[in-house]
Amino acid sequence: MPYQWIEGDVCAPKGFQASGVHCGIRKNRSKKDLALIFSHTMCTAASVYTTNKVKGAPILVTKQHLKDGKAQAVLCNSGNANTCNADGLDIANAMCKSAADALDIREEDIVIASTGVIGQPLPLDPITKAMPDLVAHLGLDGTPAAEAIMTTDTCPKQVAVQFPLGGKMCSIGGISKGSGMIHPNMATMLCFVTSDAAISSEMLQKAVKQVADDTFNMISVDGDTSTNDMLTVLANGQAGNPVITKQDDAYDTFVEGLMMVCRQLAKQMAADGEGATKLLECTVTGAPSKETARKVAKSVVCSTLFKAAMFGEDANWGRILCAIGYTDAAFDIDKVGVVLASEAGQVEVCRDGAGVPFSEDTAKQVLSEKEIQIVISMNQGDGQATAWGCDLSYDYVKINGDYRT
């Protein structure tokens, strides 16, 4: 199926617009802090959320709003998570009402999200005052919205893909934020994806869960799971394809397009981990099962010792074997092999669970690149999976040492 990357983001699919402004939640006026995504027609909608027992008020409100599987807009602020606040639900609902009045839609058709510092009261006044300006700036460039949802991110994250579906050309586009407090189930992140494909809410929810498991639930920066994580997908059907109502070829085509977008955004988040200098991609093949492959890959990218070794460009493969070894799964470690690779080449460091001679100079050259692949061959089945992470640098501590200031 000919999928093609295209320029754009959440505004690439037909019928979507977005905007982002500085309303005053964040002290720095150069940083946008309020984002809006809007479809001119009703969408089917689906979300998955953080597994943290502490959940931000916006998540609780969004869950209620999406019970009917429909939405028409996404409103998100940065700089304040609206979490662990006594008036959090009231603030989240008031934000929805403000946007609904400005857009002339129902409050229940708005997805609400927040990201930033936990436990700080979120002022409503700056948001309601900025709403007319936010709506007035709706346009076909999603970059301002991508910038407005950023916290410690160093760059906006956005991508779009186009593909034929049911005789029509469909698009899927997305923006996301995520740099710290990133750990599987969900990673600390907000991700908003749009599509002009026609798909039922039931099939969309199934697709979102399936894709999240293989993308956003496979990244880690620091082992912390946040309170406000959310992946939301809106599909307005304006491409005109026959509505996807069952798991058939059309569903598989849509899922692959969604997988491409979410996988790319997941990699962008891992690469932009707080203080990160390298993107780590761990691919596991030959595992006894897919679930085992997932666990092994995540165990490696979550290892603090291994991440520190990658920052130091040290081919300390024992840390990889250690992380594999404490994975909660059944397998034979004596069949495992490990190769480190990058654009500079590759070096085998382990075979049959034991070290093999290799050139430290070659390994140093391989690990000097910005993207490192850790290829683990388990040689005991057909299970495979990929996880993404980043190295652990001095700057991670600096960033998180004064996060609130």
Amino acid making up residue 124: L
Contact yes or no for 74/16 (Cβ under 8 A): no
Which residue's entry shows tokens 């999603």?
142
Contact yes or no for 148/21 (Cβ under 8 A): yes
- Smallest CA-to-CA distance from 189 within 171, 216, 166, 209 is with 216
Output the CA torsion sign for 5, 8, 10, 13: negative
Contact yes or no for 41/236 (Cβ under 8 A): yes
C-alpha to C-alpha distance for 108 and 352, rounded to whole angstroms: 57
Which residues are part of the catalytic machinery? 188
* Half-sphere exposure of residue 12: CA atoms within 13 angstroms, side-chain side: 27
**3-class DSSP state for residue 402?**
coil
φ, ψ at 287 (rounded to 5°): -80, 160
Length of the chain, please?
A: 405
C-alpha to C-alpha distance for 279 and 277, rounded to whole angstroms: 7
Give me the helix-helix angle, 304-311 and 317-325, nearest 10°: 160
83 φψ region: left (φ > 0), alpha (ψ -120 to 50), beta (else): beta
Contact yes or no for 349/244 (Cβ under 8 A): no
Give me the helix-helix angle, 88-103 and 57-65, nearest 10°: 50
Helix runs in 215-276, H state only: 249-271
Give, in order, the Cα–Cα distances in Å from 389 to each of 196, 226, 341, 372. Answer: 31, 16, 15, 10
The b/e string for 341-370 (b: 16+ C-beta within 10 A; e otherwise) is bbeeeebbbbeeeeeeebeeeebeebbebe
